[in-house]
Structure 1
């Protein structure tokens, strides 16, 4: 039994959004240098991210990466980069898709971004939380 898509986009729409997004990322002053320090083969990266979105949106079982681990291991990805990423991504979604599809995909991207950014919260912040005294 095949599951219906989470968001009824086509694979061509996914490819177009991913391509346009990474074209924009390369020009974005904050994100561009971060991506450039990790991505040397853009077509391969875009194909991998296309598989990620096919998995997330269409329930295709074609992506087996671990985004949390990858972003955490990068070393220069910070939680405050995700609002920039999401604003740029939302703009592309709204340019490329009908409003209902753009909104649905955006909502999922924001949930994923929120989860990734929580995973990137600096560990030092834990030490700054006041401890309750139980005396």
Structure 2
């Protein structure tokens, strides 16, 4: 089996550091912290799972088995208007923790994934007549 090259240069240690720094910021965020706290009871396990997600998405490791869209839909308290603050916070962590070219590449991937998640949540949350509920 041929191994795919990473999407961009980043180490597993850098991924772990970004994830840990991001979730430390999430826990302090007045809007997002309570949303995560309602679902995450074991932060180290959650961070390890999400680091596995990113290692899979970036390094093509087989280190994640899950369905992020389904998890966000089932949560029940994730709203479309939360994605911009989430991505903004993630971008700020990427810029602080990584080389500019790595931060930019990871940000682009995160925004693409975020658009898909936002779309899945918006499609699920509609007003009468099928109009998306954006906030």
TM-score under structure 1 normalisation? 0.92
Runs of 4+ in 1 over 4 A off after TM superposition: none
Local SS of the residue matching 1:101: helix
Local SS of the residue matching 1:120: helix
In the aligned structure 1, how far is the partner of 2:92 from the partner of 2:128?
A: 34
Structure whose CA Rg is larger: 1
Unaligned runs of 5+ in 1: 130-135
1:27 aligns with 2:28: yes
Query: 2:48 maps to which residue?
Result: 47
Q: Deviations over 1:10-54 (max 9, x none)?
A: 000000000000000000000000000000100000000000000
Deviation, 1:8, is 1.1
Query: 1:100 maps to which residue?
Result: 101
Match of 1:124 among 118, 123, 126: 126
Q: More displaced, 55-64 or 12-21?
A: 55-64
Q: More displaced, 116-125 or 86-95?
A: 116-125
In the aligned structure 2, how far is the partner of 1:126 from the partner of 1:104?
A: 38
In the aligned structure 2, how far is the partner of 1:31 from the partner of 1:3?
A: 35
Query: 1:7 maps to which residue?
Result: 8
Q: Count the aligned residue pairs.
A: 129
In the aligned structure 1, how far is the partner of 2:8 from the partner of 2:69?
A: 22
Query: 1:88 maps to which residue?
Result: 89
Unaligned runs of 5+ in 2: none
